Chains A and B, each alone.
Chain A
Amino acid sequence: MDEELKRKIEKIYKDTEVEFPERNRMVVKTKKASILSILEFLKREGFRQLKAISCVDWIKECEFELIYHLAPLNSPLHIMVKIRIERKNAETETILKIFENAKVYEREIHELFGVKFKGNPDLSPLFLENWHDLPPFRKDFDTRKYVKKTFDEIPSVEDRNERT
Chain B
Amino acid sequence: MLKKHLTKFHLWRIEMRELELYFGPQHPGMVGNFSITLKVEGDRILEAIPNPGYLHRGFEKLMELRNWIQNFPFVCRINVIEPDSMEAVYAMAVEKLANIQIPERAKYIRTIVLELGRLASHLFGAWAYANMLGFDTPAQWAMADRDHILDLFEELTGGRVYHIYILPGGVRRDLPDGFEEKVMHFLHGLASKLPDYNETFFENRIFYERAKDIGKIKKEEAIEWAATGQVLRATGVKHDIRKIEPYFAYDKVEFDIPTRADGDAYSRILVIRDEMLESAKIIMQCIEKMPEGKVYERTPNPFKWKIPEGETYVRVESSRGELGLYLVSNGGNTPYRVHFKTPSFNHGLFILPKLLKGASIADVGNIMISLYVVAPEIDR
- A residues touching B (Cβ–Cβ < 8 Å)? 21-22, 24-25, 48-52, 54-57, 67, 69, 73-76, 78, 80, 99-101, 103-104, 126-129, 136-137, 143-144
Interface majority SS on B: helix, strand, loop or mixed?
Answer: mixed
**Can you give 29 contacting A-B residue pairs, CB < 8 Å?**
A21-B311, A22-B312, A25-B312, A25-B313, A48-B223, A49-B223, A51-B341, A52-B324, A52-B339, A54-B326, A55-B339, A56-B328, A69-B341, A73-B223, A73-B239, A76-B244, A76-B245, A100-B350, A101-B346, A104-B349, A104-B350, A126-B52, A126-B349, A127-B53, A136-B58, A137-B58, A137-B61, A143-B58, A143-B62
> Tally of A-B residue pairs with Cβ under 8 A?
81
- B residues touching A (Cβ–Cβ < 8 Å)? 52-53, 56, 58, 60-62, 65, 96, 223-226, 237, 239, 244-245, 310-313, 315, 322, 324, 326, 328, 336-337, 339, 341, 345-346, 349-350, 379
A56 neighbours in B (Cβ, 8 Å): 328, 336-337
B326 neighbours in A (Cβ, 8 Å): 52, 54, 67, 69, 80
Q: Cβ of A101 and Cβ of B56 under 8 Å apart?
A: no
- CA A123 to CA B276, docked complex, whole Å: 39
Given A80-B313, A144-B65, check contact A54 B339 (CB 8 Å): yes
- Least Cβ–Cβ distance between B246 and chain A, in angstroms: 9
By beta carbon, the residue of chain A nearest B351 is A101
A25 neighbours in B (Cβ, 8 Å): 312-313
Q: Cβ of B315 and Cβ of A78 under 8 Å apart?
A: yes
- Least Cβ–Cβ distance between A144 and chain B, in angstroms: 7
Q: Cβ of A49 and Cβ of B226 under 8 Å apart?
A: yes
- CA A164 to CA B53, docked complex, whole Å: 39
B224 neighbours in A (Cβ, 8 Å): 48, 100
B324 neighbours in A (Cβ, 8 Å): 51-52, 69
